[in-house]
Structure 1
Amino acid sequence: MDLYYDPWDVEIDLDPYPTYRRLRDEQPLYYNERHDFWGISRYADVDAALRDPQRLSSAKGDILEVVKADPVMPPGVFINEDPPLHTIHRALVGRMFMPKKMRALEDKVRAFCVSCLDPFVGADEFDFVRDLGAELPMRTIGMLVGIPDADQPSVRAQAHAVLRNKPGEPLPVKKDHYFDGDMFTDYVAWRKKNPSDDLITELLNVEFTDETGTVRRLRSEELLIFLAVIAGAGVETTGRLFGWMGKVLAEHPDQRRELVDDPSRIPGAIEELLRYEPPGPHVARFVATEDVRFQDQTVPAGSALLIMLASANRDERHFTDPDTFDIHRKPGGHLTFGRGAHFCLGAPLARLEGRVALEEVLKRFPKWEVDMSRATRSRTSTVRGWDRMPAVIG
């Protein structure tokens, strides 16, 4: 059987891991003629690519369809910038995710989580995505950024719609208008007159030295894009983690029981879940200035390169028995959050939300079975997960 892979193939996406294994073994540097992109799947190659922002650029985007469309990228999409501009913008947003701030957040995240879960105590069913994954990340980001509760559902819906593609087809990308921060315009204007203890107020007032050496404040259009990036990334990818949490732990009841008996193992279980079923299975780069070699083969300058994080996380060249979910596995080493200059800024927040959520779920529902007949996949271009993951808890 001929080896074929593309990230939009619905059948492959149901269980991509056998295809990933074939790619690693047979074509670790893969070229897809139909869609004109290259792909790498082995851990060592993926790790090296993520650490090479000079030759493998993010300036044209980090989604394959976006890289290929080469749209006009507005200023402030810091995940789609290269150093030094990326370094400047990342530092501004990074203040939101400092360890001290994350520690201070835990009680609030736990309160959000409790409010999501307590209504289902004594019920027969609970949905890991609809009732938790769709709520907790949005409430947390909303609190951090300063998005009013009433506006959060529309922000969440827009973050999801941006990545929603038709099954089997690439995401349509408008070359002249890719990223939109307009949903925050009225609120930023209101915050200017009504400052508070949130990220918007902080970013409105912070002074920094830009790439020209000028000391200034953020322009309105930059701030709006910052907020759109943060809201999208913080809601969509983290939200998908909870569906996998419900499914994978239902499939491993003995390990789930260990976590109930010894909650100190929960952080390690979250790391293993992130390795085993990463919500963001791949990122893309543009081969910018020169040819790049992988596996003694050349990827020409000007090419789009798909970096398969989920495949790297299952590479037996790096992990022992990688297709086994094991909460006893030594933490660390997975590439779900990336590496190097573009390592996910929100990783501490995602880990915090995952840990707290699993602690609170297991306190209330130490056992559950998922109803896969009613579970529904989320068909998005870059995020792999579920729209529904109903669990029988009664």
Structure 2
Amino acid sequence: MDFDFDLYSRETAQNPWPAIKAMQEAGPVLRNVRTGAYMVTTDKLARNVLTDTTRFTIEGTAVTIRFGKEAFFGIDDKALHDKLRSIWMGAFTRPAMEAMRPMITQLADEMIDPVEEKLRAGETVDLEAELCRSLPAYVIAHMMGVPRSYRDDVVRWSDALGAASVLPANADKQTHPAWLAAYKARDEIGAYLAEAIAHRRKNPGGTDLISQIVHSSHNLPDEFIVSNSRQMLYAGNETTAKWLGHIVVALDERKDVRREVLADPKLMPQALEEVMRWRPVVMASVRLVKPGGTEIEGVRIPEGTTIMPVVGCANRDPARYENPEELDIHRKFQTNLGFGFGMHSCLGVTLARLEAQIVIERLLARIPDYEVAGDVIYNAFALRGPKVLPIAMH
């Protein structure tokens, strides 16, 4: 069925939920008349598209352009993907993440200090700019051994790459300002990483993520190290930053949930997970149909066509979740697609959960009566999160 959906309007970014509901009601497989892309709207079909590399591919999408064809996030060759991903898997285990808890807690408190001071002085603070956006970038920079002096560069580079990721597929990649800014950021990251790689080759023994990939047993060429490290710098902070913003807004809208979490901190993990289901950051993923085309639910889809698993629909699929449009932190746990699914699921999900838990715990401990104090501005639909998040003391 054809469906008219403007993925790129400000109105869609601000409030996508009426369109999400309309898509669900229209059918499981829809063709967007504006872009020609096909959209799947159920949890089951979304999982099928995300895991079936015989019919669908992530290679050739904008991911490859932003990070390089050697980055494992954009590689469907399972053996190569797994080899590259395995280099860093040990760094993201639960014990390794727990060892970082003191550092992340200290950083969160350092960043909340000026926020609390301004709020108690009666000021309104943009929490996305002063906390949510930067903290995950600082943490992944620390893990990669990037000096503190580059912290703001990591944020700037990530923002530029992220802005290109939500452009229409037909945006001219040679002339569009956001693509030009993304290329510039990609090249700047590459130049920094080239120096960092050379330094680590001369000075082995480091434990940071760049050192780990430089000195891995796979003896990777520099282009593989650069592409994967560039990807890690970006992916290691962008989604978490937006998730933090969603959580802050959700706990303002649902003050009853905030009170529950404050009264029983053990509820925090399931509350955060429910926010990711209810308002995912990655609202839609992108794949391409492989040669020969395919068929989904009786719909023939030509080769080379863009297909979008609409996570915003899948995470509210009534076939999987009871009362899916409700934020219910007591619902029976079922994995959602907020962190991806299958081979290209988020490597750093344990880090993201730890960061979110620490930041929200410290924020509620110190500013339990905050309130959203103005319009929350959202950046885009496909990779959605608050761009401006004003808060004040109640």
Q: 1:311 to 1:110 in 2, by over 3 A?
A: same
Instruction: Note if contact 1:376-1:386 (Cα within 8 Å) is conserved in structure 2.
Output: yes
Instruction: Note if contact 1:3-1:22 (Cα within 8 Å) is conserved in structure 2.
Output: no
Q: Which of 73, 76, 80 lines up with 2:70 in the alignment?
A: 76
CA distance in 2 between partners of 1:157 and 1:324 (Å): 35
Instruction: Note if contact 1:163-1:382 (Cα within 8 Å) is conserved in structure 2.
Output: no
Q: Which amino acid aligns with 1:90?
A: R
Structure 1, unpaired ranges of 5+: 209-216
SS at match of 1:31: strand
CA distance in 2 between partners of 1:234 and 1:25 (Å): 35
Q: 1:199 to 1:72 in 2, by over 3 A?
A: closer
CA distance in 2 between partners of 1:39 and 1:167 (Å): 16
Q: Which of 330, 336, 339 lines up with 1:334 in the alignment?
A: 336
Superposed counterparts of 1:263-282, under 5 Å: 263-282=265-284
Greater shift, 37-46 or 52-61, is seen at: 52-61
Superposed counterparts of 1:191-230, under 5 Å: 191-195=200-204, 196-208=206-218, 217-230=219-232
Query: Quick check: 1:98 aligned with 2:93?
Result: yes
RMSD (CA atoms): 2.5
Q: Which amino acid aligns with 1:164?
A: A
Instruction: Note if contact 1:59-1:81 (Cα within 8 Å) is conserved in structure 2.
Output: yes
Instruction: Note if contact 2:242-2:281 (Cα within 8 Å) is conserved in structure 1.
Output: yes
Greater shift, 132-141 or 286-295, is seen at: 286-295
Residue by residue, what CA displacement relative to the aligned partner does 1:211-270 show, whole Å, maximum 9, x if unpaired?
xxxxxx111121111111011111211111121112111000111011111000000011
Shift of 1:159: 1.1
Instruction: Note if contact 2:289-2:306 (Cα within 8 Å) is conserved in structure 1.
Output: yes
Name the structure 1 match of 2:195.
186
Residue by residue, what CA displacement relative to the aligned partner does 1:168-219 show, whole Å, maximum 9, x if unpaired?
85554359997643342223323333443211111111112xxxxxxxx111
CA distance in 2 between partners of 1:166 and 1:60 (Å): 13
Q: 1:60 to 1:165 in 2, by over 3 A?
A: closer
SS at match of 2:100: helix
CA distance in 1 between partners of 2:165 and 2:313 (Å): 24
Instruction: Note if contact 2:293-2:300 (Cα within 8 Å) is conserved in structure 1.
Output: yes
CA distance in 2 between partners of 1:8 and 1:89 (Å): 33
Greater shift, 262-271 or 149-158, is seen at: 149-158
> TM-score, normalized by length of structure 1?
0.88
CA distance in 2 between partners of 1:263 and 1:165 (Å): 38
The number of residue pairs the alignment matches comes to 377
Query: Quick check: 1:241 aligned with 2:243?
Result: yes
Shift of 1:72: 9.9
Shift of 1:42: 1.2
Query: Quick check: 1:128 aligned with 2:91?
Result: no
Q: Which of 106, 111, 117 lines up with 1:111 in the alignment?
A: 106
CA distance in 2 between partners of 1:19 and 1:163 (Å): 23
CA distance in 1 between partners of 2:260 and 2:87 (Å): 41
Q: 1:71 to 1:159 in 2, by over 3 A?
A: closer
Name the structure 2 match of 1:376.
377
SS at match of 1:318: coil
Q: Which of 350, 355, 360 lines up with 1:353 in the alignment?
A: 355
Residue by residue, what CA displacement relative to the aligned partner does 1:327-360 show, whole Å, maximum 9, x if unpaired?
2122332111121111111111111111111111
SS at match of 1:84: helix
Shift of 1:165: 5.2
CA distance in 2 between partners of 1:6 and 1:60 (Å): 23
Q: 1:71 to 1:387 in 2, by over 3 A?
A: closer
% of aligned pairs identical?
A: 27
> TM-score, normalized by length of structure 2?
0.88
Shift of 1:38: 1.0
Instruction: Note if contact 2:5-2:34 (Cα within 8 Å) is conserved in structure 1.
Output: no
CA distance in 1 between partners of 2:66 and 2:368 (Å): 49
CA distance in 2 between partners of 1:202 and 1:262 (Å): 39
